[in-house]
Structure 1
Amino acid sequence: MRTLTVAAFISLDGVIQAPGGPTEDTTGGFCFGGWIVPYADQASGEAVGELFAQPFELLLGRRTYDIFAGYWPRVTSEMPHTGIVEVFNRVPKHVATHDPDTLEWHNSHALEGDLAKAISTLKQQDGAPLLTQGSGELVRQLMAAGVVDELRLMTHPVVLGRGKRLFDETAQAAAFRLVQSSTTPTGVLVARYVRAGEVRTGSFETV
């Protein structure tokens, strides 16, 4: 059985919308697209590179898939991120979509039927760990279904006040354990959390 990791760029108030550029996702009048760019440095680049250096298969929502499919196959040696372009173009890509016939990016596969069941089936198969990138709507469904095994979050020191968030009220309650963390020179907290069972509660009241 393989694991499912959610990787995300996130603000202090939990926003994950349009981290990479102004036109990435303006839904709801979001005007802060590209908010991670001022914090980009060598350390954050290395953290992203480390994430993609391990074997993985991509799990994507349709909006993120279309953004990726419109970019990665067209990357040239003069453009940024060429170190991972071959990997992204090669690895299997599992996509939540209602239009399976329109998945033209190499090695793309549509998730059919009930999403939670499709993900559970994928996890039970042999293969590399599953990894999400972006895909906020999909991730919220995964959190609601309780199928996420690991969180890889890059928390940026900014409050956006509005925008699509990683967690909402549908998320299934679960405990996670911090297993690795570091901070970049620009103040980005890079953290890895693994699932640690059910939420535990207690009281500070004396008996």
Structure 2
Amino acid sequence: MNAVHMVRGNVMRKVIASVFVSVDGVFEDPSWSMPFWNSEAAKFADEQLAAADALLLGRVTYEGMAPAWMARAEGADTGTERMNALPKYVVTSTLDTPEWNATFLTGDLAAEVTALKQQDGGDLLVFGSGRLVNALLAHDLLDELRLWTLPVVQGGGRRLFGDDAPVKTLRPVGTTALGSSGAQVHAYVPAAAPAAG
């Protein structure tokens, strides 16, 4: 999915993953990211949320985010209102009662995400969701990976790409420095694998 795909005369929707990672690749429970949050990070987050018209989430991320964001609904700011209003597509085989404007995807992941990409609309934004990110990469369904790389070494915790991660070649398409915090967002898109030498 490296080229521009056309569906019914329209450009296919993009799946964009936006993930906080430490320098050593840990993404699990990124509460350690808060000291690096500043106005530049908020601006970047607001812009990517504005470009999306749905979230695509793994079950664990959904279960962590849903109660926190729903609790912020009363007297919410514009960003919170948007986050709560967006449709959420949640990949799960265990949940059965959707909340937080969610639809559960319980069938074949590749087929269901391909169908979502073929619909009209803006970006499908993935937060966290490490297993989902790996599966999307494996099925060539991830159009852009944004790694919010924070200048901290965690030493332990679940890494975004473990020993079972798919082997893929990525092409860097931009880096955004988030002020003086040292945090940067590195953006990558799928690239053709280099020819064997």
TM-score, structure 2 as length reference = 0.84
Q: Answer yes or no: is 1:13 the counterpart of 2:8.
A: no
Within the candidate set 22, 33, 37, 2:34 is matched to: 37
2:134 touches 2:166 (CA, 8 Å); kept in 1?
A: no
Answering whether residue 166 of structure 2 is matched by residue 169 of structure 1, we say no
Report what 2:6 is aligned to: none
Paired-residue identity, %: 39
1:142-178 deviation line (CA, Å, top 9, x unaligned) = 2222211101111001111221111123333333222
Aligned AA (1:192): A
Provide TM-score, normalisation by structure 1: 0.80
SS of the residue corresponding to residue 52 of structure 1 reads helix
Q: Counterpart of 2:96? A: 101
- Cα 1:67–1:11 change in 2 (3 A) is same
The alpha-carbon deviation at position 189 of structure 1 amounts to 1.2
* Among candidates 102, 107, 110, match of residue 113 of structure 1: 107
Number of residue equivalences? 185
Partner of 1:64: 61
Q: Which residue of the partner structure matches residue 2 of structure 1?
A: 13
| TM-superposed deviation, 1:139 | 1.7
1:35 match: secondary structure = helix
Q: Residue 52 of structure 1 is aligned with which of 39, 49, 52?
A: 49
Do the aligned residues in 2 keep the contact of 1:145 with 1:172 (CA within 8 Å)? no
- Number of the residue aligned with 1:129: 123
Distance in 2, Cα, partners of 1:116 & 1:163: 28
User: Match for 1:88 among 80, 83, 88?
Assistant: 83
Instruction: Please identify the structure whose Cα radius of gyration is greater.
Output: 1
Point out the structure with the larger strand share.
2
Runs of at least 5 residues in structure 2 that lack an aligned partner in the other structure: 1-11
Structure 1 residue 97: Cα displacement? 1.5
Deviates further, 6-15 or 142-151 = 142-151
CA RMSD in angstroms comes to 2.1
